[in-house]
Structure 1
Amino acid sequence: MPSRFTWLPFNSYDGKTDPIEHVSHYIQMMSLHFHNDALMCKVFPSSLGPTALRWLNGLRKRSIHSFFELIQEFGVRFMTYSRVPQPVDALLSMKMGVGKTLFIYANRYWELYNEIGRGNEKIVVSTFRMGLPEDSEL
């Protein structure tokens, strides 16, 4: 380990959440050491919970040659837990419920929007308005 390396408090991957999010979080936490492939591989197990650690320990010796290969195999093994991005048209199904506040509707809408990712801003504004009641003053 490098003399200046400080162990970080990683989220422990439980084998039931999105592996891509886990790897992204791990890379972000290790961003100062991202150039050190060996260190990235050596520290990665400390971010794994029991299920993922069993998988890692079951890999054939010397079958992984880089951090990229490690996270690729990790993603393949746990891909059934990957989050599937919502299509942009999922925003069309959003409606402000009767008796619900604009605050609640907006929170639900933007939460879904953030799951979709980048999209056409004109569509975003239009679908937001379409979900409002007709008597809305917005």
Structure 2
Amino acid sequence: MTVYSKDEALMCKVFPSSLGLIAMRWFDGLKAESINSFHELTQAFGSRFVTCRRVPRSLASLISLNMQEGESLKTYSDRYWELFNEIEGDFDDVAISTFTLGLLSEHDLRKSLTGKLVTSVGQLMDRIDKYKRVKDDQQQGKRKDKVIP
């Protein structure tokens, strides 16, 4: 598209190739000669589909995220990292502390993270994965104990 950015007619013809089903339906419904330029086309598209834009989340939404009573570490961790990835900026140091503080106060991982601090998001993710593996191994051990030979 950048190569042909001076050729507005071509850009208008190529534009639909990037659309999904709903947007294509909108495009096909445009009246003939109702759009006079590529700029007008992008403005009309933006006006119609403004609600589809993702608004970056604020750091406050990450700070307020907490593990729920009875929630698994996997579920909390998945929610946390999904939200973290929606925040623009470099907040690795905040990620470490907010993830830890969001865990239930009696959670063993929280105790571990406050006892032996991690200094990067990579270390935090490694520690979470290690904790999950240990818990999975413990769960499998309990299941084996219950099996009657």
Q: What is the TM-score with the length of structure 2 in the denominator?
A: 0.56
Contact 1:41 1:70 in 2 (8 A): yes
Residue in structure 2 matching 1:98, options 69, 83, 92: 69
Matched residues, percent identical?
Answer: 38
- Give the match for residue 134 of structure 1: 105
- Give the match for residue 116 of structure 1: 87
- Give the match for residue 143 of structure 2: none
- The aligned length equals 102
Considering fraction of residues, name the structure with more helix: 2
Which whole-Å CA distance do the structure 1 matches of 2:104 and 2:59 have between them? 21
**Residue deviations 1:37-82 (CA, integer Å, cap 9, x gap):** 2443312123242124324x46625x21x4x553344213321332
Contact 1:85 1:115 in 2 (8 A): yes
Which whole-Å CA distance do the structure 2 matches of 1:119 and 1:96 have between them? 23
Q: Which moved more, 1:110-119 or 1:77-86?
A: 77-86
Which whole-Å CA distance do the structure 1 matches of 2:80 and 2:33 have between them? 42
- Over the residues paired in the alignment, what is the CA RMSD in angstroms? 2.4
Gaps in structure 2 of 5+ consecutive residues: 114-149
Greater relative contact order (CA < 8 Å, ≥ 6 in sequence): 1
* 1:60/1:132 CA distance change after superposition, 3 Å: same
Q: Which runs of 4+ in 1 moved over 3 A?
A: none
Which whole-Å CA distance do the structure 2 matches of 1:119 and 1:100 have between them? 28
